[in-house]
Chains A and B, each alone.
Chain A
Amino acid sequence: MRTIAPVVEKRWETPSTVTLRFDYAPLARPGQFVMIWLPGDDEVPMSLSYTSEGRKGVTIKAMGETSRHLLQLEPGTRVGLRGPYGNTFDLSPRRLLVVAGGSGGAVVAPGAEEVRRKGGSVTVALGATTAKELLFRERFTAMADGGLEIATDDGTAGHRGYVTDVAARLVKERSFDAVWTCGPEVMMVKLVRSAEEAKVPIFCSVEREMKCGIAMCDACAFGPYHVCSDGPVFSGERLRDIPDFGQFKRDASGRRVRA
């Protein structure tokens, strides 16, 4: 159930973000994740940033110790893979707004591409701390027939400020069938509110501590759900009944800490 596969491509997307590609056959759908094992180190969940048949990919930002180690991998290094796990984005929207903050673009990009390929319209709001850290700027530009709007904290590109401001304006001014988002939880909480006010269904990809990946160990408990199997994609409607969202997460011991 675990496949050992070498990294076949490595690409720096931003100064802190790397895409690793590997040949991994199991069928994957946009929104799903794999457990990627760096032998001798750790095994962590990573959403697939490339879900196409055969060659899959994950896009990693330097956050914790393990992600920093993953960033240092070179082609030829072998990793362990299991999955894909979790649910997927519903690909039926005809007019989609994608809101991606930080490395969140890695999670929403493959599904948005699918929507576009199926003839839907895609609009993207992309945020980062600074221009150089905008993830998948070209990839999003290529798919965003409805336009790409950018926000950076320091104003080095696009709107100076938060991507949530840009998104709030977009949902108010234009009509969408759905909003997809992935990014820091505070950002997603704000977006859920904006989308609800505009009466647009919203879907968030949520992150929690994860160990087993198969709804057994409870590390990713999220209200009465498990992010690994009931998620990672949750509708705004469901999130309303999950007290954890925007409030607390659990550390590796299961203690509640501020989200």
Chain B
Amino acid sequence: MQRSTLLAALAASTLLLAGCATPADDGVTLVLVTHDSFALSDGTLEEFTEQTGVRVDVQPGGDAGELVNKLVLTADSPLGDVVFGIDNTFASRAASNGVLEPYVSGDLTDAEAPFLLPEASGGEYLTPIDTGDVCVNVDHRWFAEAGIPEPQTLDDLIDPRYEGLLVVEAANSSSPGLAFLLGTIAAYGDGWYDYWSALIDNDVKVAASWSDAYYVDFSGPSSEGDRPLVVSYASSPPVEVPAGSTGVLLDTCFRQVEYAGVIAGTEHPAEARQLVDFLFSTTVQNDIPENMYVFPVNAQATLPDGWAEYAQIAENPYTIDPAEIDANRERWIQEWAAIVQP
């Protein structure tokens, strides 16, 4: 009696395991592998299911770098059908390792052309979905109270007048930290070593993570610290309360673009392409800012209230060719660490 109960339990748990591994019904379910910051409103992905009958299972896989590396390591048994969240700093690694099917959404127009990647860096594999600038954020109230004009440019940050006011994230443990480093490399070329030495001399603070820099060291209204300048996102000010209490130094921005693509080896290539198109559609694009704190790339998308007013987009952000980033990332990070963390 007892033995048969045990057997039944074993059988049930085996079925349960099997159930977890394969979709139960005959409709297609796509696995959408994303970075950890992926979020959409309830019902947005369900609209895709209503339109196409295809269900979407979201599977987060770390930050952009971790995501791409996972795809590379699992190339012989893919993690999913569609990937979202590969950014311009890792795009070239994804493209050169053959983990993506060549496909770019046909719905793109000339208006989105600036977001497309160069041919050799994943241009034929990745569809741009959202963009966000990593910029120095400024606490307006602090500067008003101190009676000092706010800095404007990267050069200003090494001005002794702004000594001890900036906190940045470490380039070897934080993606905005790396983006800021890339911005300085784009701005100064090989002169970036000297720039960073000057930043150190000007008492820049290096924090391990964004949360750490923003919430502990920054002096903004939701933060605890006393430094009025922090490396964060261009989208941070609109969500601060009261809105407008912080702002962005538009001449310090490095542009990040996040892409979606079809994972090589998918069993449902047609549906996977539909999902990439859907991510570019205004249904998703309108939903992106409030959920992921970045800007939609689709020129037809509408921004939520408050964004038009407080969210600023740099006109001439710093950029570096993704292939160059991929070729030099390790060396740059190690050289940076040697300067900042001797």
Q: Are A and B interaction partners? A: no
Q: Which residues of B contact A (CB under 8 A)?
A: none
